[in-house]
Amino acid sequence: MKSNLYVGLVHHPVYNKDFDIVTTSITNLDIHDIARSCKTFGIANYFIINPLITQEKLLSRIQKFWNSEIAMKYNSDRVDALSIVKYAKTIDECRKNIKNQEGENPIIISTTALQRNGQIKFQDINSIMSPVLLLFGTGNGLTEDIHKMSDFVLTPIKGVNNYNHLSVRSAVAIVLEKLTSEK
């Protein structure tokens, strides 16, 4: 597995159920569960991308608790998982943070539940030598503009029937497992 793989959970711009472009709220479940998946599969950092100062403050309060001695005694595994969580206001800020860590811009791969032309397959990601930023969308998914600015769009997860609306927490876990198992 690539040790220079990053995950970004995008809260803006994303679609709502009516395909309006919105900003979604950070949720405690997404913070914790995605951090645990990212830590399990060796992700360098998990970025929560949200432009709202109120949401940044919410994340900061949660991180403050999980950086305390009480948290370490309560659940050291959770403290370890949350240690890779970072905040960025925008995808561009996230990209700059990764460039500062890696010395080069990451290849950006967006995710979607929709089939599109020219999507990259899971097994092809491991052949990319540059750092990779995998973007996942909240709400009803990433906007078309994000897919256009990405270097690649990942092929969707396929289930056993036509229903395809996973929670983002489940989608991240499945994608990361597929990336580690498909060589």
- Integer Cα distance of 176 and 43 in angstroms: 9
Task: Give the pLDDT confidence score for residue 24 in this predicted structure.
Answer: 97
The mean predicted confidence, pLDDT, of the chain is 92
Check pLDDT > 70 for residue 25: yes
Higher pLDDT, 1 or 31: 31
Query: What's the whole-model pTM score?
Result: 0.94
45-49 and 5-10 strand pairing = parallel
Tell me the one-letter amino acid at 50: N
- Integer Cα distance of 183 and 180 in angstroms: 7
Question: pLDDT confidence of 182, banded at 50, 70, 90?
Answer: low
Check pLDDT > 80 for residue 71: no
The CATH number of the domain holding residue 138 is 3.40.1280.10
Question: pLDDT confidence of 2, banded at 50, 70, 90?
Answer: low
Query: 111-141: buried (b, 16+ CB within 10 Å) or exposed (e) per residue?
Result: bbeeeeeebbebeebeebeebbbbbbbbbbb
**Domain interval for residue 98:** 5-181
Name the nearest CA neighbour of 87 among 36, 53, 110: 53
DSSP 142: B
Q: Total structural domains in the chain?
A: 1
176 sits in which H/E element? helix 168-181
Mean pLDDT, residues 29-47 taken together = 95
Q: Angle at which helices 168-181 and 28-40 pack, to 10 degrees?
A: 10
Task: Give the pLDDT confidence score for residue 79 in this predicted structure.
Answer: 79
Task: Give the pLDDT confidence score for residue 142 in this predicted structure.
Answer: 98
Task: Give the pLDDT confidence score for residue 141 in this predicted structure.
Answer: 96
Task: Give the pLDDT confidence score for residue 63 in this predicted structure.
Answer: 86
Are the C-beta atoms of 172 and 38 separated by less than 8 Å?
yes
Question: pLDDT confidence of 70, banded at 50, 70, 90?
Answer: confident
Higher pLDDT, 157 or 181: 157
Mean pLDDT, residues 69-76 taken together = 78
